[in-house]
Structure 1
Amino acid sequence: MRPSPRLVVALAALPLALTACGGGGSGSTSSAPPSISAHSADNRPVKGGGTLNIALNADPDALDPSISTTLVGREVFANMCEKLYDIDASASLVPQLATALPEVSDDGKEVTIKLRQGVKFNDGTPFDAEAVKKSLDRHRTWEKSARQADLAAVSEVTAVDPATVRLTLSQAFTPLTAQLADRAGMIMSPKALDAAADNFGASPVCVGPFTFASRTSGSQIVLDKAPDYYDAAKVKLDRLVYKIIVDPNVRAANLKSGDVQVADQLATTTVKGVQTDPNLTVVSGGGLGYYGITINTGNANGSTEQPGTVNTALAKSPELREAFELALDRDVINKTVYNGLHEVDCYPVALDSPYRSKDLQCPKRDLSKAKQLVQASGVPAPVPVTLTSPNDAVNQRLAQVIQQMAKEAGFDVSVQTAEFVSTLEQGKSGKFDVLLNGWSGRVDPDGNLTNLVTTKGSNNYSGMSDPGIDDPIKQAAAESDPAKRAELYGSSMRRAAELRGVLYLYHNKYYLGMSKNVAGVQYFKDGLPRFVTAGFAA
């Protein structure tokens, strides 16, 4: 359905600072998306030494792998805290601190992992099976851990010998290797854990090419080259300095001025301007994650607590939630807010995933039906909705577009803004009506679903709880056949789409801006810049 003339006029009337912001980039919907190549690795030779300044678009939460929940935190971890497994340029799972993919018993309930030998943590402590056991047990049993759902199938971790770990599972769990390729597989120094306990994130110690040096909240995080890294000869840079620059226009300006040499997650409104600078380049990554609108349907006391009653119009009425979705035009949102640089979708699993059912279809904007549903709900129009948005310019732009679209269907959307991490806290606690937020994505669809839409999942901010969602996801995790897993995930996602606890808008494409004299950066589909081989071009 085409957007109504009144909507087009309303969007055109949004503030000029939002429609044409940043570094010569244009917010116009008429300009074609710039051509940007995907980037796996830049293999030009680099010289040794130097400090690389990287602009992050938000301040990470605690740098503790057990409790971290932010993408920007994962970006820092990628160069400081190695995992048992990782992904490569083709998004395939590969060993990192392990030496091979896991050996799995016939019943799927025993998983054996062989470990690298001769490795040290960045405080000089030996890396071995006992250290792996200590970290995995913390991830899966600590009451504050956000990794509990990731490792829920693991009932016991055994150090068989210094180079071998055995995981005993309560049931077969196919996504385990993918979970161990993210924060659930990050191994922390046992010495640092004993010394810092719950405060580990203030001075984290892992195995990695760079080691934590300092952090100034809201300003910067400094990592130094790690002298004990097992592949230290590969590491050329002396130091990484992550600078927190929330404003996308300032981030692009700092890249152009040379104050930073790399800028993460360029706003799509600034991509074109960065591209036109002869000293800079833009490469794309990501696509595994999503962004959308979370509606609080049952998160009365916290996402990990039993769902309860939420007294808002949208929470109480499935018909109003349907109307709210039908008021939105995802294609117009992508063009108006993001210059068409994201992948429009209404489901959380990537469009090119082998686990994506082919029959999943997205509803088009249907303003007439949306109005009918509002009228039939019995709630006097305009229906009040409070939308919480991170306070950066792009999210505020998105919130305004949603506000204008929903108004035409009979909703009165008021927008509240807060710091990014504060919005996450509101999501966890259930202290919101409607929330803009997303997920950075995982290669296995379980990582985009279990913790986010199943009952009492730590990131299930909506508070959805339904056997039609939970059961197929649980069954798919124990299934090894990809086709059967895709069918089960499809069933679960269709049910979640009916409940509309999350209205997915698009899959994130990430755009990394870099100085052309920076080489050796690895940038894969997870959108995490890896600087282990990076440096300044020789």
Structure 2
Amino acid sequence: MTAAATALIAGTPLAAQTIDVAIIGEPDTFDPMISTKDVVSIVTQHFVETLYTFDESWSVVPLLAADMPEISDDGLTYVIPVREGVTFHDGSTMDSADVKASLDRWIEVASRGRSIAEQVESIEATGDFELTITLSEPYAPLMSLLAFSNSAAAIYPEETIAPEIETVIGTGPYMLEAHEPDQYTQLVRFEDYTQPTGAAERQQIPEEIRFVPVPDPNTRVEGLLSGQFDYADGLQTEAYDRIESSDTAEPVLLEPFGWPVFAVNHKQGIMTDLTIRQAVQAALPFDDMLFAAFGDEKFFQTEGALYPEGWTWRTDAGTELYNQNDQEKAASLLEEAGYDGEPLRILTSRQYEFHYQMAEVARMGLEMAGFTVEMDVVDWATLAQNRDNPELWDIYITHSPFLPEPALISSLFSSAREGWDNPEKNEILNRFTSEADPEARQEIFAELQQIVFEDVGLIKVGNFNALQGQSAGLEGVTPSPWPAFWNAQPAE
């Protein structure tokens, strides 16, 4: 146990300290319920909390809930005990009315909440500190959805609930002290924080955490190496050797991390044509795209399965359609589709430099097949705004960590911004989410992955390992796609 943690437990005041974190850009909201962006999750998880969370092994554990729910035998009723004595940052006390109002909003405005809205029959406060969720049909991933910090089922005071929340009030170990747009977000310890027990414990070691938006990845690296930042997210893999050989910093490699994805516009534009989608899938040179993005095979794997080796959900279903790199086949498909040269619009950003590098190589492969390609390169905040308007893009580039529950992959749902509303896929997805038996769910997931490839619901590029960096000797930060800093302690 660290000295700081020992002091905290003993009741000794902690030394004043600040953790400075370089993030890839400015969070465009402090309301994680309405955002799926990692940069929003990273910041807001420190001051906004959910009923449940994930431990280090991706098991769901209580956070604002007092215990795991009591689930009826038919899987339709979840009775959730709510922790007593929890204080919001405005001084009010949380009860089940706050939880009900928050979850009611979640199924209305959050992409993950909307994905299950049709299955939610009612959300009721059945006691001052008890909530009951009743479903119209079983939904196996419900607990994972309630635990995720991305499009989060966040708990706010009932009085603040509105379609748009201007001032976010949470229950977390830190509270928002100041926000200077494009400069920093300052969080300070919430002294009245009520500590959860067990795996969700949050020690509040730093007195202050500052998140600094640094859009340029090279600047994030230089700031880490100079000691300006204690932690830096989203680093280019080319910086690995420099950081490793430095006396001031250490690389943090998340292996495997996740998958870059070309998200497909199924609502309007040329990608609504299946044959055009199949032509894109056939033309893309994934090996070259990944090499351009990451430069060294220790940072990527050319693999089409939606989950890597060692994961429960691993299946090779449909992967014969992955990495065809066949521009002649793609050209034939374009001719079959009657393609007239309409531009294929790719929306991307350089704040994740590997997105842009993949897009450039993809453009060359697509043009060889006969596509006219139009690149729209914008900052990440603009991309996040423009991708919500289906008139502005045909493909946008993003990435996702490997998530513990496939139902957390929002692109699979017709309610997502991509609008993939294939009836056969919807039926498979409905069977998958309503099935409780783990082995049966694995078999259904193989069907789901098969149709992802056959209908080109989305385009996975491959697997990649993500690079972050921390100051030498920093302790208490568990490597994660969403690193948390409540237990962070710099080297003495």
Normalising by the residue count of structure 2, what TM-score does the alignment of the two structures yield? 0.88
Task: Give the Cα–Cα distance (whole angstroms) in 1 for the partners of residues 379 and 446 of structure 2.
Answer: 34
Identity of matched residues, %: 23
1:147 aligned residue: 113
Q: Does 1:112 align with 2:79?
A: yes
Quote the offset at 1:453 in angstroms.
2.8
Quote the offset at 1:471 in angstroms.
0.8
- In structure 2, the CA distance between the partners of 1:537 and 1:153, relative to structure 1 (3 Å rule), is farther
| Letter of the 1:187 counterpart | I
Task: Give the Cα–Cα distance (whole angstroms) in 2 for the partners of residues 342 and 59 of structure 1.
Answer: 27
Q: Deviations 1:236-263 (Å, cap 9, x if unpaired)?
A: 2111111111111111111111121100
Out of 165, 168, 178, the residue aligned to residue 134 of structure 2 is 168
* Aligned-partner SS, 1:188: coil
Task: Give the Cα–Cα distance (whole angstroms) in 1 for the partners of residues 102 and 155 of structure 2.
Answer: 5
- My pick for the range that moved more, 121-130 or 384-393, is 384-393
* Aligned-partner SS, 1:535: coil
Task: Give the Cα–Cα distance (whole angstroms) in 1 for the partners of residues 29 and 384 of structure 2.
Answer: 13
Quote the offset at 1:377 in angstroms.
4.1
Q: Does 1:403 align with 2:367?
A: no
Quote the offset at 1:97 in angstroms.
1.6
- Report if aligned partners of 2:79, 2:130 keep a CA contact under 8 Å in 1: yes
| Letter of the 1:477 counterpart | T
1:454 aligned residue: 413
Quote the offset at 1:535 in angstroms.
2.0
Query: Which consecutive residues of structure 2, in runs of 5 or more, have no partner in the other structure?
Result: 5-13, 196-200
1:327 aligned residue: 283
Q: Bigger relative contact order, structure 1 or 2, given CA contacts below 8 A and separation 6+?
A: 1
Out of 477, 486, 498, the residue aligned to residue 433 of structure 2 is 477
- My pick for the range that moved more, 347-356 or 265-274, is 347-356
Q: Does 1:134 align with 2:72?
A: no
Out of 179, 182, 186, the residue aligned to residue 222 of structure 1 is 186
Q: Deviations 1:209-240 (Å, cap 9, x if unpaired)?
A: 11112222233211111111113992121111
Q: Does 1:48 align with 2:15?
A: yes
| Letter of the 1:189 counterpart | P
Aligned-residue RMSD, C-alpha: 2.5
- Report if aligned partners of 1:53, 1:241 keep a CA contact under 8 Å in 2: yes
Quote the offset at 1:292 in angstroms.
1.5
- In structure 2, the CA distance between the partners of 1:198 and 1:221, relative to structure 1 (3 Å rule), is farther
Task: Give the Cα–Cα distance (whole angstroms) in 1 for the partners of residues 121 and 24 of structure 2.
Answer: 38
Out of 170, 177, 180, the residue aligned to residue 143 of structure 2 is 177
Q: Does 1:86 align with 2:53?
A: yes
1:238 aligned residue: 207
Quote the offset at 1:447 in angstroms.
0.9
Out of 434, 438, 445, the residue aligned to residue 406 of structure 2 is 445
2:217 aligned residue: 248
Out of 344, 348, 358, the residue aligned to residue 389 of structure 1 is 348
| Letter of the 2:411 counterpart | L
- Report if aligned partners of 1:121, 1:205 keep a CA contact under 8 Å in 2: yes
1:425 aligned residue: 385
Out of 415, 418, 443, the residue aligned to residue 375 of structure 2 is 415
| Letter of the 1:453 counterpart | L
Task: Give the Cα–Cα distance (whole angstroms) in 2 for the partners of residues 156 and 376 of structure 1.
Answer: 49
- In structure 2, the CA distance between the partners of 1:258 and 1:156, relative to structure 1 (3 Å rule), is same
1:20 aligned residue: none
Task: Give the Cα–Cα distance (whole angstroms) in 2 for the partners of residues 233 and 353 of structure 1.
Answer: 28
- In structure 2, the CA distance between the partners of 1:62 and 1:446, relative to structure 1 (3 Å rule), is same
Task: Give the Cα–Cα distance (whole angstroms) in 2 for the partners of residues 470 and 292 of structure 1.
Answer: 20
1:303 aligned residue: none
Quote the offset at 1:358 in angstroms.
4.4
- Report if aligned partners of 2:283, 2:366 keep a CA contact under 8 Å in 1: yes
Quote the offset at 1:175 in angstroms.
0.4
Task: Give the Cα–Cα distance (whole angstroms) in 1 for the partners of residues 38 and 376 of structure 2.
Answer: 22
Task: Give the Cα–Cα distance (whole angstroms) in 1 for the partners of residues 43 and 301 of structure 2.
Answer: 26
2:458 aligned residue: 502
- Report if aligned partners of 1:53, 1:243 keep a CA contact under 8 Å in 2: yes
2:231 aligned residue: 262
| Letter of the 2:205 counterpart | K
1:57 aligned residue: 24
* Aligned-partner SS, 1:522: coil
2:470 aligned residue: 514
Paired residues in the alignment total 470
Query: Which consecutive residues of structure 1, in runs of 5 or more, have no partner in the other structure?
Result: 1-42, 301-309
2:69 aligned residue: 102
- Report if aligned partners of 1:209, 1:235 keep a CA contact under 8 Å in 2: yes
* Aligned-partner SS, 1:290: strand
Out of 211, 234, 240, the residue aligned to residue 175 of structure 2 is 211
| Letter of the 1:108 counterpart | G
- In structure 2, the CA distance between the partners of 1:45 and 1:522, relative to structure 1 (3 Å rule), is farther
- Report if aligned partners of 1:78, 1:529 keep a CA contact under 8 Å in 2: no
Task: Give the Cα–Cα distance (whole angstroms) in 2 for the partners of residues 70 and 164 of structure 1.
Answer: 31
Task: Give the Cα–Cα distance (whole angstroms) in 1 for the partners of residues 318 and 309 of structure 2.
Answer: 10
Out of 326, 337, 341, the residue aligned to residue 366 of structure 1 is 326
1:4 aligned residue: none
